[in-house]
Structure 1
Amino acid sequence: MKNIYNKLILKVQKFDAVRYGYSRNYIDGGVTRLSPYISRGIISTKTIYNHISNAGYEINQIQKFLQELCWRDYWQKKWQQTTNIDVDLKNIQSPTLYHNLPSSIVKHHTSIDAIDHSIKELYETGYMHNHLRMYTAGICCNIGQYHWLRPAKWMYFHLLDGDWGSNALSWQWVAGTNSNKKYIANQENINKYCHTKDKGTFLDKSYEELTKYNLVPKELQEEISLEYNYDLPKNELLKIDKKLPTFIYNSYNLDSNWKKEDNANRILLFEPSHFKKYPISNKVINFIIELSREIEGIIIAVMEFDDLMKIVKKESNIFFKEHPFNKHYKGNMEERDWIFPELEARGSFFSYWKKGIKTYSNK
């Protein structure tokens, strides 16, 4: 996977952002598949945004794609300014009958072909189309009346692009705990965008029927509790040259271009306490390790940050990129590359978008 960054840039340059605008909601629509590389810090939203916005399009032609990039930044900034996104943020989810997962979702036996197929694909590849993620979340939270947190962690466990900020806050948006209304799709909508012909499913109703009654379909009444098994990599021989700076990488920062000209210790840190709380599959772990091989001299360290500090000794020698999961890191923090660097995510997304476009369009 050498020179992955350059390959991604070529992909961005060839990407049809206009087609994305009108086809993105279809399962065979024109999406980029860049999300895993954005989540892992290989390429930034800002880099993609700049390439597309400078490609000669009119803004109205590519607005949907630029907004999708800005949604990612918006969720991350919301996370930055929120103490805990693992709890209902604005509204208490209601009604809520269950706090585990629907067995039929986990076992992909919902009787809805598009949903079942997408869950199989998630298990096999680590990918799920964004529209299918929303469908799945809507079924769990708003049809099945499951609290959003555990289903969100189930999906996060399997996603190559697992980004807890975008994932958790999107589930909360669907469940109505981070928005003013819940997201529900009926079978007609799923058939349209997934090119299926399902009839007689528990979603094969009008929206009025789906929202009028609070009865959970029998297909969603069996709940299941999961334990997540995963294997963190083995420690590599950790040799720290204390005369050099130490750059900390992790599952959210695998930027091979970050300070690449500097002579430094480069550590890929896996903190066991983090993965115990937010587990990810072996497929995802192997993907992270494979991406890290782009970074020359990278060494894997499986330990807590505080234990690494005892080895490095000096805070002034440690450098890392900001991330909400890194708040306990000590040393020199550097900001990520934001599309709208100084703009805070206050209010709604579209308020954030309008302010950003107005402020930065001429810069």
Structure 2
Amino acid sequence: MPSSPELDENDLDTIPPPQPVFHAEQALLGALLLDPHRLGDVTGISADSFSTAAHAALFAAISTVPPPDPAEHANTTWLNKVLAKGREQNRGLTVSYLHDLIQVCPWSRHAPAYARMVEAEHARRRIRAGAEQLVQSAHDVSLPHPVQTVLDEADALAMVVDDIAARFPPRAGVLPRTAAPPPAIAPDHTEAVQEEQLLLATATAHPADMESVQWLFPDDFTLPLHAGLWQCLATLTRRREPADPVTVLWEAQQRGLLDDGSDPGEVLRLLAEPVGSVEHWGQRALQRSLLATADNTGRRIEAYVRDLANTPFQLVVGARRSLADISSIRTRWQRATGTVPPQRPRPAHTTRAGPPTTTAAHTARSVRATR
């Protein structure tokens, strides 16, 4: 049996250093091990908020084992109970690591600040997971109902963002740093191009049916030429002018669509082979556009998340703005398919806390108002 490869000292250089949140987690756990009573000052996090299984197990143990007498700091008996409880979930916990955590904690009274850092990074991971799931669904060709699945994933991500916004209310004017998403793998547009050609030809043969697909926009097409020809058709039908391959070609010339060297004969042939219905091909184009929008939205949010300089406040603003693109095309999809599902409940708008309003204050204002 071949022996397992040993880790060379030079290999240690390839291991990335821990992120700042790892040190924040250590400081928080050290503070709670040193002063267990400070657990009451820690809000907004749970065991799932930690980035490692060991830290999650230890926080769960600290939250479960009854603390020692409030007048005392942590004692050996309590630490042993915490270690035993933590090892039920993670056998890697040791006495020495608990002591290391206590040693690396700068100030136990800063526990709420450390917890806020842990919560912020957990929010980042939650948004990233939702965005990744959205992108994956947009590319999953095995889905029986791809549009509905993608919209469900978008709703799930929006709910995560709303939940985070309740703890990190977005601030006016605080936008995420602009970060262009990495280039996606170029999709195979062969099928899309063929279906768009059939849509254009069928609409040219039945221009009256253009009225029934007003939910389809030029931006939904994959090729600029196809988008331009669709605008030509829409213009002719709006003017109530004759629409056929020749009139569409002439309109295309007036708009400069043939300046890129497109062969007029090819355009005529493209527009002369109608098949099926305008509405059918229009829905196909809109579905493809919706999935592409979801992909772009997810990758844009992923780019925001990867930039560690973006705060949770900025991530909330950026994610909401990106998801608005899906909301817009969702409305058009519902018009196209005649499906309007019930709206999901949205939490109340979060505002900054103001001065307390008391019954006495209301009464005083009422009295002044009647004088």
TM (norm. structure 1) is 0.25
Query: Between Structure 1 and Structure 2, whose CA radius of gyration is higher?
Result: 2
Task: Specify which structure has the higher proportion of strand.
Answer: 1
Higher share in helix: 2
